[in-house]
């Protein structure tokens, strides 16, 4: 949630850090895949 709000606010660097952290901490594989896709979308081309 925090990553999404940071992304909406335009702070893509902080959003990426929070997506990365959330993906690492969750035990759910589907959630990890979702978070990693969001992270990749932010960091592709960076």
Question: How would residue 44 be classed by pLDDT, with cut points 50, 70 and 90?
Answer: confident
Q: Is the pLDDT of residue 46 over 60?
A: no
Cβ neighbours for 15, distance < 8 A, ≥ 6 positions apart: 3, 4, 6, 7, 42
Write out pLDDT tens, residues 16-38. Answer: 999 999 999 999 999 999 999 99
Cα–Cα distance for residue pair 36/28, rounded to 1 Å: 12
Rounded to two decimals, the pTM is: 0.88
């Amino acid at each position: 949630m925090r990553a999404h709000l940071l992304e909406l606010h335009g702070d893509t660097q902080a959003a990426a850090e929070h997506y990365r952290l959330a993906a690492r901490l969750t035990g759910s594989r589907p959630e990890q895949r979702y978070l990693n896709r969001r992270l990749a979308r932010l960091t592709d081309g960076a």
